[in-house]
């Protein structure tokens, strides 16, 4: 019967009926409707949250079906936007939850629109440009968020509470969080579900207000090689951090730190330039991208896919030939560089 829907959560003492009522009153934002996003979204919708907003810029492809649990073959055939397909499935699981779906490439303006209206954010993005924007915006509006990432059989998660924990900017100063992507190194679905189990459990603690139960460590694991650890990172909190310190400037919300894109006049090409100056290491890049279809000289490295050609320069710039769509170009860029 309908009144029994959340009975097992009522019986779980840390939640109970009082906690369930809190969950029902909360609004959660999930950035990304891929592997992490669909897994987290299903768990949260089934748990009875009041409102879910899910945002993604991409559409369903055949390679997604191996691990992105809300999607079906017809979604891939019709190239249905992920946010739309996710909402359709999620509403079938729990019609009581209000679900908003946005098909958008999230930049500063979108962050400023989304973050102030929600109680917590779950990270299900595929790149650090967006995560750093998310980090600064959540610090600005004092919104807790839960970092998550996985590739191969590896995964990690960390709960960021503004004013209490180190932020992502702090962590990047002392913990290596970047690296390969699932498009270059592959991924197995158990790693996805391990990450989202931690993310959703932490989210439920935040939603019911049980802050003492938060893990307060950076969780890392490798399921294939049976490795699991919780790394203490409290000392990484930096009082001079420009994102969460005593005098924050939120640098990644400024235009100068954002990835620059431009459609080149008269050419079917988009140029992408990182927000911060980098010197591209071609050896590291070759190790990250799929083998084959790579050409190189002392000045640039070219990588050919079925439909596009990506040309990487030493100064960090990338030319993506074969499209004038900035959103598509950004998607391809992040698939390769992470």
Chain segment 103-159, per-residue pLDDT in tens: 887 888 889 999 999 999 999 997 787 899 999 999 999 999 999 999 899 999 999
Q: Where are the alpha helices (DSSP H) in 55-148?
A: 73-78, 82-93, 108-114, 128-140
What is the helix (H) or strand (E) element at residue 56, kind and residue range? Answer: strand 51-56
Which residues make Cβ contacts (< 8 Å) with residue 216, sequence separation at least 6?
159, 165, 232, 234
Residue 185: closest CA among 33, 31, 337, 32: 337
Rounded mean pLDDT, 8-28: 97
Coil/strand/helix, residue 53: strand
Q: What percent of the chain has pLDDT over 90?
A: 59
Domain boundaries, the chain: 2-253, 259-337
Rounded mean pLDDT, 292-298: 77
pLDDT digits (tens, 9 = 90+) for 67-106: 999 999 999 988 888 999 999 999 999 999 999 999 887 8
CA 125 to CA 116: how far, in whole Å? 19
Rg (CA), the chain: 20
Coil/strand/helix, residue 273: strand
Q: Please, what's the largest Cα pairwise distance for the chain?
A: 68
Pull the structure tokens for residue 68: 């992105």
Residue with tokens 């004038």: 324
Higher per-residue pLDDT: 158 or 335:
158
Which residues make Cβ contacts (< 8 Å) with residue 298, sequence separation at least 6?
none
pLDDT digits (tens, 9 = 90+) for 231-245: 999 899 999 999 999
pTM: predicted TM-score of the whole model, two decimal places: 0.80
Residue 338 to residues 9, 130, 142, 185, 321, Cα–Cα distance (Å): 37, 11, 27, 11, 19
Coil/strand/helix, residue 242: coil
Instruction: For the domain covering 259-337, report its CATH number.
Output: 3.30.310
**pLDDT value for 174:** 64
Coil/strand/helix, residue 98: strand
What is the helix (H) or strand (E) element at residue 165, kind and residue range? Answer: none
Residue 308 has pLDDT above 90, yes or no: no
Question: What's the CATH fold of domain 2-253?
Answer: Rossmann fold (3.40.50)
């Amino acid at each position: 019967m309908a009144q029994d829907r959340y009975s097992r959560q009522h019986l779980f003492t840390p939640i109970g009926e009082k906690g369930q009522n809190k969950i029902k009153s909360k609004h959660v934002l999930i950035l990304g409707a891929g592997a992490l996003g669909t897994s987290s979204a299903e768990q949260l919708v089934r748990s009875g949250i009041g409102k879910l907003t899910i945002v993604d810029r991409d559409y369903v492809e055949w390679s997604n079906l191996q691990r992105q649990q809300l999607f079906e073959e017809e979604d891939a055939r019709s190239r249905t936007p992920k946010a739309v397909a996710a909402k359709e499935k999620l509403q079938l699981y729990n019609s009581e939850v209000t679900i908003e779906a946005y098909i958008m490439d999230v930049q500063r303006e979108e962050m400023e629109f989304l973050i102030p209206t929600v109680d917590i954010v779950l990270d299900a993005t595929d790149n650090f440009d967006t995560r750093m924007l998310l980090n600064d915006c959540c610090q600005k509006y004092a919104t807790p968020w839960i970092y998550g990432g996985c590739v191969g059989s590896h995964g990690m998660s960390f709960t960021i509470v503004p004013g209490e924990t180190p932020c992502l900017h702090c962590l990047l100063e002392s913990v290596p969080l970047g690296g390969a992507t699932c498009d270059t190194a592959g991924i197995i679905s158990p790693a996805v579900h391990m990450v989202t189990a931690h993310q959703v459990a932490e989210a439920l603690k935040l939603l019911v207000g049980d802050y003492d139960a938060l893990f307060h460590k950076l969780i890392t694991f490798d399921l294939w090689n049976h490795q699991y650890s919780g790394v203490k990172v409290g000392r990484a909190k930096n009082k001079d951090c420009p994102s969460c310190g005593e005098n924050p400037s939120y640098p990644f919300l400024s235009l100068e730190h954002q990835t620059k894109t431009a459609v080149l006049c008269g050419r079917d090409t988009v140029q992408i330039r990182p927000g911060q100056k980098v010197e591209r290491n071609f050896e590291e890049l070759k190790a990250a991208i799929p083998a084959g279809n790579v050409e190189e000289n002392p000045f640039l490295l070219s990588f050919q896919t079925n439909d596009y050609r990506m040309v990487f320069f030493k100064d960090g710039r990338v030319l993506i030939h074969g499209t004038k769509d900035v959103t598509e170009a950004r998607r391809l860029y992040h698939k390769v560089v992470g």
